[in-house]
Structure 1
Amino acid sequence: MTNKTLVLLASASLFATASVANANSLSASSTAAAQDEAAKPTMTEGERMKQLFAQSDEDSLQRNPIGALFRGDERYADRFGDYISDEYFAAERAAEEKELAALMTIDRNKLGVTDKIAYDVFLRDKKQAIQGMSKEIMDLTIVRPLNHFSGFHTFYPTFASGKGAAPFKTVKNYEDNLKRHAEFITLINRSVGRFRQGMDSGVVETKLTIGNVIEQLATQIGLGLEKSPFMAPTQAFPEDFSDADKSRLTAEYETTTKKIFASYQTMHDFLKNEYLPAAREGVGLSYMKGGDVLYKHLIENTTTLPLEADYVHNLGLSEVTRIKTEMEAIKKEVGFKGSLSEFFTYLRTDSKFHPESREALTKGYYELGKKVDKLLATQFKVLPKSPLEIRPYDESIEKFQAGGSYQSGTPDGSRPGVFYFNAYDLPSRNTSGMTTLYLHEGAPGHHFQISLAQENEDLPNFMRFGGNTAFVEGWALYAEKLGYPMKLYDDPYQRFGHLDDEMLRAMRLVVDTGLHSKGWTREQSIQYMLDNSSMGETDATAEVERYIAIPSQALAYKIGALTIQRLKKKAQETLGDKFDPREFHDQVLNTGALPMTVLEKKIDDWIATQS
């Protein structure tokens, strides 16, 4: 996952925050200016559209400055952003509506092939954004501003520590960080007000997720000044800083960090004493007022397809059955005599499948990365320019993190992409899953998809830096399959690890829909995952609590991967000996993260030209 920030983030989603979700908006005044320019008769339709895209992107960065920093753009680095007030959401909605109106004045039939793809993506993005900002949906979302998996309090400490996307090379960088802190405190304080709105309307988070947030806040406060990530930049000043600047900045960072702790304490006490008693017991959206409406919206938003929960649930059940059959074959191959369930237990508990130490796990990933690098040219004609680093999560946040995640670098490569792996509770970490995890989060998964898109300057910025979960995570899951042609699964246990990871994504279809449309409990969901995979209880628990916190996001992996696999099979069958995986992968990746419907049309058109 992109941590998921965005990411996707991608961030996110993967990085999964409001700032990234609305990163392609256009303000009213700027749209009017773009339309005035578009009226000039000398401009082609393609030029008008590119002008619209460029102005949209620029205005969006001004409203969402954190997104700019992730690109390496420091023009608005002294701002954190709003992301939570009524005024912010009103401006975002107005911008989306005016952007859509501006796009409708452009004749799609007069555009080139790539421009038509850009038009279709932009059109879908605007419609989805407007739907997501309707009163019906907003009333169900903005009153739940954070939980243990999705919230600025989980992302910002690393971002501001000197180990994230924010730069710490100059005195101004350090001073900009202090200014961002002030706006971050404002956001945390305003979040309490949003929670109170939800208490009044009856739309509340779960006791489980809020209990986890309370623990997260207590943990961060408990670190104290010396160990706080917010103070980390003062422990790594650049050598050219004067003693006077070091002394001044250290004092200012101490003062501001204490203010952050105070806002955390206020949030902690409010959640513990007032909100937690009002939070709901049922963990799924089916137990929340308006939850069925929200879940339907979220499924289409994350999968980019109009799917029903029952269809997704049944698809998951069929995939679980298929993967189990393949697992049985590997169990026989290695000569294990017991049942599949006993084989799961063997993989879970035998010491030879667990890392000896954090250092050994780190070394293992370094060696794997070098091995993969030597094989990538067999599957790809274009490789990212951005380097990829491998790091464990910081110990202060690792308990609540997934098994691994990816943080994107900058387009110019000045900040590398980072594959993070989890070294918390080593007895629960299974070395048989290392290859598949690296292929997914690192290369050729998230690192290739995100880097190749943002390095392609021929694309409009919303396609270089935007995306959707179905493509981003679907590609990463598909990338795991490339371990077969690259001969990385010759070891049956690594192959089983891949199937186990694929099983995880299939189980997500079952469990996510079970939780949010069929009334499944947390315990029921954890047990289902333990019964159908070799996951340890720690991982299974973290996974289920993630689905509870961010409904539907986990569906996108398997839906997206199955779509790409189906398109590849179609190309192979149609083109026969003419099929080249390097060309196919280039077609999939060279226009950024497309909605599944747009991707399918693109690949169909490409197949037609090849055959």
Structure 2
Amino acid sequence: MVLNARVIGLAALAMALMAPQASFARAIASATPSAQIDATTPASTASANVALDRLFAEDARAAMQLDPLGALEQGLPVSPEQFVRLFTPDLAIQRRDANARTLAALARIDPAGLDESHRISRAVFEAAKRSEQALWSADVQALIGTQPFNHFGGFHVAYPEMSAPDSGATLASVEDYRKLVARHRALPHVFDSAIDRFREGMAGGVTEPRLTVDNMIVQIDALLAQPISQSPFTAPARQFPASIAYDQRPALRRDLVAVTRGSIYPAYRKLRAFLADEYRPVAREQVGLSSMPGGIGLYRLLAKLHTTLDLDPAAVHDLGLDEVARIKSEMDGVKVELGFTGPLRAFFDHIRTDPRYHPRTEQELAEGFRAMGRKVDALAPQYFVHLPRTPLQIQPYPAYRARFEAGGSYGQGSADGKQPGVFFYNTYDLKSRFLTGIATLYLHEGAPGHHFQISLAQENASLPDFQRFGGNTAYIEGWALYAETLGYEMGFYKDPMQHWGTLDDEMLRAMRLVVDTGLHTKGWGREQAVEYMLANSGMGRSDAQAEVDRYIANPGQALAYKIGALTIQRLRKQAEQALGPRFDIRQFHDQVLGSGALPMPVLEAKVRGWISATR
């Protein structure tokens, strides 16, 4: 898991999938063509390269003007006039038109006239624009535009975070505060637009599941239960920067309190009343997309957007079943190595309670990860041509965050390498943490997983910014899951404790293939999905329920991890078979990581080209 990743509902899916990261967005205003031209570059190729780079920059600037939500998430200024365009059909139409203009301009740039790196960039860019084209089409917008948000990171819960002092937004002057208050005053209009879209869906039988509606109501109730003086919306008045003079603070505080009381809280109450009284009674009882008109086709599209591959859901379901069976078979062998002869389901319970598998102290967990870091640092030159310049720190979550975080995650460093990347591990409730997961978690979240992939991409200034800082789930999470498998050849899984840990993590990703497709194409209910996960893993019930609720709210995303990893593993096997003794694992990894996060078809074409050239 990469920190700060957010999905905010089907209507915002296009923006979430295509949105650049903050460092990219802030560079847009000054973006200039960056084609690499030297004396050996033919004039026609240099001209085509420059034209393509110019199109990238122009599209990035235009996209941010039409993406107020993406700008807010990245801490960029958004005027009330831009803000009120959220969830409006007009904004969707303008995004569709802008996409069409970009694709038309791209068609005029012949890939045959570009150098190799620009041909790859053009393919990545075109894939992203084709995905946008599909999402912004009128028939798809009739399905996703009418479900503006849900409980899984939806706008109604994300907006308070965007309004806090630590959101990344600039709050350094009185004028910044006044702009914030003006935007807050526009919130009722934004919620009214969302309600209008929800009603459009109701008229066509396209609704959220009742489960997600109930969750949204609970979330809104929790927000409204906070006193205005403790609300996240008034937090900027409780944490003034030093640049705000003391004599100016009372008026700004009054304005924030007034807009929270007079605009924000009433808007949330109106949304809550609509959801509870009007929307919930007609919301679908079944949780899967197949229970609504056009749902099967929509699921296939969403799966393609997340995995970058056109997949048959039935084939993915069967693949998941096969992977689950394979991993369970390996688990049966490892549990015997660990001294347990009973059935696998009993071992799941045993490992949760036996102190042998859990850290006794925070120091024990910390030293386990640090030791793993030292081992990977020593071995990495044998597997990689290029190593990140950005250093990697290993540290626990701060105490105030630990309770609400996963077992581990990665916080990326800066592109110049001055700010390190951070592998975070969780020390909250030590008895629930596993010593068995040390190797696989570090390889995935730290090195050579997210840290190598993200750092090497953003350190590569020769790439266009959407390759340096953007990406897709199949590549980003697929690489991190593939990185876990390197523990076998690095020797880490000779220890049955660590071998069990990597199988346990791999099982979750395999079960996702079964459960996600089961929910959205085979009529599975929530409880059926939860029971499947409990029967095939050591997960606790609350963890399984949280996972299943995530898949319900975010269809198709959970497929990307395993699909991405299997694609990279398949390409490696093809390269090993084709090249024989000429296969170099360092060069293979350099091909996979050297162009930023690529769609799977572009990655496959690149690797196959490298195989042919090497042969």
Q: Which of the five TM-score ranges fits, normalised by the shorter chain? A: 0.7 to 0.9
Out of 81, 91, 96, which is 1:93 matched to?
96
For the pair 1:279 / 2:275, whether they are aligned, the reply is no
**Alignment partner, residue 146 of structure 1:** 149
CA change 1:122–1:532 in 2 (3 A) is same
Amino acid at match of 2:525: T
- CA distance, structure 2, for counterparts of residue 105 and residue 504 of structure 1: 45
Show CA shifts across 1:539-598 (max 9, x none): 111111111111111111111100011112233344455544443323212212211111
**Alignment partner, residue 191 of structure 1:** 194
**Alignment partner, residue 553 of structure 1:** 557
Matches within 5 A, 1:234-249: 234-249=237-252
- Displacement, 1:306? 1.6
- CA distance, structure 2, for counterparts of residue 15 and residue 496 of structure 1: 40
Answer whether contact 1:395 1:424 (CA < 8 A) is retained: no
**Alignment partner, residue 27 of structure 1:** none
For the pair 1:20 / 2:20, whether they are aligned, the reply is no
Classify the secondary structure of the residue corresponding to 2:280: helix
- Displacement, 1:116? 0.9
Classify the secondary structure of the residue corresponding to 2:487: coil
Answer whether contact 2:184 2:259 (CA < 8 A) is retained: yes
CA change 1:583–1:602 in 2 (3 A) is same
**Alignment partner, residue 382 of structure 1:** 387
Answer whether contact 2:393 2:421 (CA < 8 A) is retained: yes
Answer whether contact 2:392 2:421 (CA < 8 A) is retained: yes
**Alignment partner, residue 169 of structure 2:** 166
- CA distance, structure 2, for counterparts of residue 397 and residue 224 of structure 1: 25
Answer whether contact 2:403 2:428 (CA < 8 A) is retained: yes
Amino acid at match of 2:348: F
- Displacement, 1:469? 2.0
- CA distance, structure 1, for counterparts of residue 365 and residue 266 of structure 2: 36
**Alignment partner, residue 24 of structure 2:** none
Matches within 5 A, 1:342-357: 342-351=346-355, 353=357
Classify the secondary structure of the residue corresponding to 1:337: coil
* Amino-acid identity (%): 45
For the pair 1:504 / 2:500, whether they are aligned, the reply is no
Show CA shifts across 1:340-385 (max 9, x none): 111111123335545679x779957974785577455554423153
Matches within 5 A, 1:484-503: 484-489=488-493, 491-503=495-507
**Alignment partner, residue 5 of structure 1:** 5
- CA distance, structure 2, for counterparts of residue 377 and residue 224 of structure 1: 55
Aligned residues: 591
- Displacement, 1:228? 3.5
Amino acid at match of 2:320: G
Which stretch shifts more, 449-458 or 297-306?
A: 449-458
**Alignment partner, residue 47 of structure 1:** 50
Answer whether contact 2:402 2:427 (CA < 8 A) is retained: no
**Alignment partner, residue 527 of structure 1:** 531
- CA distance, structure 2, for counterparts of residue 318 and residue 127 of structure 1: 32
- CA distance, structure 2, for counterparts of residue 182 and residue 416 of structure 1: 39
Answer whether contact 2:86 2:193 (CA < 8 A) is retained: no
- CA distance, structure 1, for counterparts of residue 269 and residue 2 of structure 2: 29
CA change 1:444–1:163 in 2 (3 A) is farther
- CA distance, structure 2, for counterparts of residue 426 and residue 277 of structure 1: 43
Answer whether contact 2:18 2:128 (CA < 8 A) is retained: no
Classify the secondary structure of the residue corresponding to 1:301: helix
**Alignment partner, residue 136 of structure 1:** 139
Amino acid at match of 1:432: T
- Displacement, 1:394? 9.2
Matches within 5 A, 1:75-90: 82-90=85-93
Matches within 5 A, 1:48-127: 48-64=51-67, 67=70, 74=76, 82-127=85-130
- Displacement, 1:115? 0.9
Out of 144, 147, 157, which is 2:160 matched to?
157
- CA distance, structure 2, for counterparts of residue 205 and residue 140 of structure 1: 10
Which stretch shifts more, 437-446 or 335-344?
A: 437-446
Answer whether contact 1:3 1:13 (CA < 8 A) is retained: no
Show CA shifts across 1:187-210 (max 9, x none): 334222221221122100011111
TM-score, normalised on structure 2?
Answer: 0.85
CA change 1:517–1:597 in 2 (3 A) is same
CA change 1:368–1:153 in 2 (3 A) is farther
Answer whether contact 2:392 2:446 (CA < 8 A) is retained: no
- Displacement, 1:423? 7.5
**Alignment partner, residue 568 of structure 1:** 572
Answer whether contact 2:484 2:502 (CA < 8 A) is retained: yes
CA change 1:486–1:212 in 2 (3 A) is farther
CA change 1:338–1:81 in 2 (3 A) is farther
Amino acid at match of 1:62: Q
Out of 325, 348, 372, which is 1:321 matched to?
325
Amino acid at match of 1:264: Y
Amino acid at match of 1:481: T
- CA distance, structure 1, for counterparts of residue 478 and residue 597 of structure 2: 10
- Displacement, 1:97? 0.7
Show CA shifts across 1:251-294 (max 9, x none): 33333444433322222222122211111110111111221121
Answer whether contact 2:307 2:559 (CA < 8 A) is retained: yes
- Displacement, 1:149? 1.1
- CA distance, structure 1, for counterparts of residue 367 and residue 271 of structure 2: 40
Return 5+ residue gaps in structure 1 as ranges: 25-29, 35-39
Answer whether contact 1:4 1:14 (CA < 8 A) is retained: no
Answer whether contact 1:391 1:418 (CA < 8 A) is retained: no
Show CA shifts across 1:145-176 (max 9, x none): 11111422333333433444435566666555
Answer whether contact 2:396 2:424 (CA < 8 A) is retained: yes
Amino acid at match of 2:542: T
Answer whether contact 2:402 2:428 (CA < 8 A) is retained: no
Return 5+ residue gaps in structure 2 as ranges: 21-28, 34-42
Amino acid at match of 1:563: T
- Displacement, 1:460? 1.9
Answer whether contact 2:164 2:236 (CA < 8 A) is retained: yes
Answer whether contact 2:84 2:186 (CA < 8 A) is retained: yes
- CA distance, structure 1, for counterparts of residue 381 and residue 239 of structure 2: 38
Please report the RMSD computed on the Cα atoms of aligned residues, expressed in angstroms: 3.7
- CA distance, structure 2, for counterparts of residue 236 and residue 100 of structure 1: 45
**Alignment partner, residue 341 of structure 1:** 345
- CA distance, structure 2, for counterparts of residue 322 and residue 246 of structure 1: 63
